[in-house]
């Protein structure tokens, strides 16, 4: 992600956080307290990029969708406003690099990396007092990836992927089960993240930008 894009998105996220704070009601209620959520996630990256090198080689990079698991905790300090933090892990994101040579042949390299974001954010609950709790939010994530090992005769090369700071947004809902302390949860997150590495002194970056869809359950701790 270039600096201009990053700071533009960060500014937009800051504006959203301020808006959430201004519209949130400070009135206390029985809905305050901790909520713990566990989810299974589908991670669908928008990680394709095409670039033509000075020597005429066309380089196409792509990342596949994957599945993962995560845990989040949210503390509601008013009937509308809560702060949430957590992590998720997707362990089998295929990363593919295809090099189209000017003479015609295509060379393909494929390896698997992990995607593990640790995030924190602010949520605005839109339907306090209703059976279904709908919420939206803005978040900031610290993203880690495992290294890639690109195999090409006569050997292989380890490519380290840099850590990333990724802003993001989410929408979610909690639906209570028969025992109202338990609930079902569904959420959609979008993070502005990159695959980045430094090769021979040159920093290379590919947009990852995953859409993250989660389903699971949670527990509402009673507030005293």
Task: Dump pLDDT digits (tens) for 197-214.
Answer: 766 666 677 788 999 999
**Distance of alpha carbon 116 from alpha carbon 52, whole angstroms:** 30
Rounded CA separation 16/19 (Å):
5
**Percentage of the chain with pLDDT > 70?**
68
Maximum pairwise Cα distance, the chain: 72
45 vs 8, more confident: 45
Mean pLDDT estimate for the chain: 80
CATH T-level fold of 3-220: Porin (2.40.160)
Q: Which residue has better confidence, 188 or 111?
A: 188
The tokens for 5 are 């894009």
154-173 per-position pLDDT tens digit: 666 677 788 899 999 999 99
Q: Going by C-beta distance under 8 Å and a sequence separation of 6 or more, which residues neighbour residue 170?
A: 121, 123, 136, 137, 138, 139, 187, 188, 189, 190
**For residue 193, pLDDT beyond 50:** yes
Three-state DSSP at 22 gives helix
Kindly report the backbone phi and psi dihedral angles of residue 2, in degrees, each rounded to the nearest multiple of 5, phi listed first: -75, 165
Residues 102-157 have pLDDT tens digits of 776 666 777 788 899 999 999 999 998 888 999 999 999 999 988 877 766 566 66
pTM of the model: 0.79
Average pLDDT value for residue range 79-100: 85
Q: Give the model's confidence band at 63: pLDDT under 50 very low, under 70 low, under 90 confident, else very high.
A: confident
**Domain boundaries along the sequence of the chain:** 3-220
């Amino acid at each position: 992600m270039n600096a201009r894009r990053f700071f533009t998105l960060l500014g937009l996220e800051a504006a959203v956080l301020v808006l959430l704070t201004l519209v949130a009601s400070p009135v206390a209620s029985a809905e305050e307290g901790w909520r713990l959520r566990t989810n299974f996630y589908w991670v669908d990256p928008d990680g394709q990029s095409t670039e033509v090198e000075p020597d005429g080689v066309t380089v196409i990079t792509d990342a596949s969708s994957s599945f993962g698991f995560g845990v989040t905790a949210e503390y509601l300090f008013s009937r509308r406003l809560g702060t949430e933090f957590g992590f998720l892990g997707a362990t089998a994101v295929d990363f593919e690099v295809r090099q189209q040579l000017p003479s015609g042949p295509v060379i393909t390299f494929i390896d698997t990396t992990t995607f593990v974001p640790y995030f924190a954010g602010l949520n605005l609950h839109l339907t306090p007092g209703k059976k279904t709790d709908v919420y939206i939010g803005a978040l900031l994530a610290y993203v880690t990836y495992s290294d890639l090992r690109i195999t090409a005769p006569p050997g292989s090369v380890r490519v380290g992927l840099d850590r990333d700071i990724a802003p993001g947004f989410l929408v979610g809902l909690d639906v209570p089960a028969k025992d109202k302390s338990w609930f079902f949860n569904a959420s959609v997150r979008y993070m502005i993240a990159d695959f980045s590495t430094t090769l021979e002194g040159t920093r290379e970056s590919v947009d990852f930008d995953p859409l993250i869809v989660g389903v699971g359950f949670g527990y509402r701790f009673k507030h005293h």
